[in-house]
Amino acid sequence: MSKKDLSQAKFATLVTSEGNIKFELLTNMAPKTAANFVLLSQNKFYDGVAFHRVIKDFMIQTGDPLSRNDDPDDDGTGGPGYAFDDEINKNTPKLVKGVVAMANAGQQEGKGTNGSQFFIIAKDATDWLDGKHTPFGRVVEGIEIVDKIGNVKTKDDKPVKPILLKEVILSAN
């Protein structure tokens, strides 16, 4: 899909070292967030990043460019060099299993902290997160891969054996 066809992206396939996860982009509910994800994907920003945070029966998180370096202590602190606000309103879907949402550090100095990191919910309900993270996708294929990654051996919520996001493939269907 060429850069001029970005608006045609309706789905994203995460090609991981454990298998593929395909999700529908929620472009109507979170247009800025979905567009940010598409642009970063198109520019190969996500290629080779690790799933740096995995919490069994809860979520799997990726999208940090610093996860490519040799310093595990900075994993979870990187981003694209900019931040943007949440897109949350009364119609925002709940964060349930299979929802893809932006990871953030809440509001800082009145501004949003969304950038590149995102997570996929691996639990049926996460009420305490509703209204705090912008959902921008919903898994349509590969939920078993989410479960597989979510059940890898971890130490301090980091996979013992690296789990990689090899690339993101954008598609219209």
Residue 68 is among the residues annotated as catalytic for this protein: no
DSSP character string of 106-147: --BTTB--BSS-EEEE-SS--GGGTTTS-EEEEEEE-HHHHH
Catalytic residue among 119, 138, 165, 170: 119
Kindly report, residue by residue over 87-117, the tens digit of the pLDDT.
998 889 999 999 999 999 876 766 789 999 9
Is 108 among the residues known to form the active site? no
pLDDT per position as a tens digit, 10-68 = 999 999 999 999 999 999 999 999 999 999 999 999 999 999 999 999 999 999 999 99
Report whether CATH 2.40.100.10 matches the domain 9-171. yes
> Which helix (H) or strand (E) segment is 32 a member of?
helix 31-42
Global confidence as pTM: 0.93
53: annotated active-site residue: yes
Which of 170, 164, 166, 162 is closest to 72 using CA atoms?
162
| DSSP conformational letter for 86 | -
1 confidence band (pLDDT: 50, 70, 90): very low
Structural domain boundaries in the chain? 9-171
Of 14, 129, 164, 165, catalytic? 129
Full strand arrangement of the beta sheet holding 19-25: 49-50, 164-171, 11-16, 19-25, 135-141, 99-102, 118-121, 59-62, 53-55
Q: Out of 25, 40, 61, 114, which one is annotated catalytic? A: 61
